[in-house]
Amino acid sequence: MKREFILLFFTLQSFILSAQDSICINQAIQHTITSTYLNEERNYWIGLPLGYSDTNEYPVIYVFDAEWRFELIRNMAFDMGANQKIENSIIVGIPHIEWEYKRGQDLTFSQSRIEYDGEAVDSTWYNHTNSGSGMKFYQYLTQELIPDVNRHYATNGHETLIGHSYGGYFGGYILSLDHPFEVIHMYDPSIWYSNGEVIHRFNQKSYTKDTKIHITYQGEPAFHKNKIDAFISILKECEHITLSKQFYSNETHNSLFLDSFYKGILQTNMKPKVP
């Protein structure tokens, strides 16, 4: 009995140490950038995959709304990578300081005169205090944040962007720019914003970058849903876009996020290499 107890003790100790190693690897790491484009300091958060090593190279998943979404995405991707459901990936969380104002400034490129239900609004709803600085944020993202991640970590150039609501609109808008992403996820995107300017801009561009796009959405309100349907229709016609989509009839604007990421990343992430 004593011998069996000692064996059990060392087995448990070995398991605990192993678990502790995994937890340490999965701790978040914070970096700070003094942004020329935003004229302020911004943080971003890093989650590394199981067994991360500088001798390997990893795809990177960039996540907007990190205040709410980073921990969820980081832990899901860590587990899915460890279990070879997706390729091990570096997760980058991008928070939006002063959420009530800066999030809207960061993620929108104009000042909408229409709401999500199609109702007309005036400048008291959307103005320079809460919207329309997306180009500055885009420059920060592409010229400062992504290069900083690449300097600090072993990346392979395969980049995924995860955006929900305004973040999904941002992902759609940058299709009209020379963006760096191989994969863009748009969860219930605000394509209604500025009466579908994302659609108009995409129609004016000859899109030639091979891109995987995953769109999910729900049906309320109808104006919002109809704009997403119209966007999906034009994306289907582009030969350089591989589109996956899912409509959630029993989910809300926020509740569809978790399933959207799980199913979307399985379809669009680089697959694990077979040993």
CATH number at residue 120: 3.40.50.1820
Is the pLDDT score of 100 beyond 90? no
Domain membership of residue 23 (yes or no) is no
- Average pLDDT of the chain is 90
What DSSP character marks residue 145?
A: I
The answer to whether residue 8 is domain-embedded is no
* Mean pLDDT, range 152-165, rounded to an integer: 97
pLDDT value for 22: 35
Q: Is the pLDDT reported for residue 12 higher than 60?
A: no
User: Residue 124 in 3-state DSSP?
Assistant: coil
Question: Can you tell me the mean pLDDT for 209-223?
Answer: 97
| 91 DSSP β-pair partners | 47, 61
Residue 82 has pLDDT above 60, yes or no: yes
Q: How confident is the model at residue 97 (pLDDT cuts 50, 70, 90)?
A: confident
The Cα–Cα gap between 64 and 27 comes to 19
pLDDT in tens, 112-151: 999 999 999 999 999 999 999 999 999 999 999 999 999 9
Q: Is 7 within a domain?
A: no
Query: 116: closest CA among 254, 223, 232?
Result: 223
Q: Residue 98's pLDDT is what?
A: 78
pLDDT band at 217 (very low <50, low <70, confident <90, very high): very high
pLDDT at residue 14 tops 70? no
Domain count, the chain: 1
Residue 267 main-chain phi, psi, to 5 deg: -85, -30
Q: Please give the residue that has the higher pLDDT: either 20 or 42.
A: 42
Nearest to 61 by CA among 80, 47, 51: 47
Mean pLDDT, rounded, for 161-168: 98
Q: Is residue 18 part of a domain?
A: no
Domain range enclosing 130: 29-268
Question: What band does 24 get if pLDDT is binned at 50, 70 and 90?
Answer: very low
- DSSP assignment, residue 127? S
Where residue 25 falls among pLDDT bands split at 50, 70, 90? Answer: low
Strands, E, within the chain: which ranges?
29-35, 40-47, 58-64, 90-94, 155-164, 183-187, 211-217, 241-247
Query: Considering the domain boundaries, does residue 22 fall inside one?
Result: no
Residue 197 lies in a domain: yes
- Domain assignment present for 261: yes
Assigned domain for 247 exists: yes
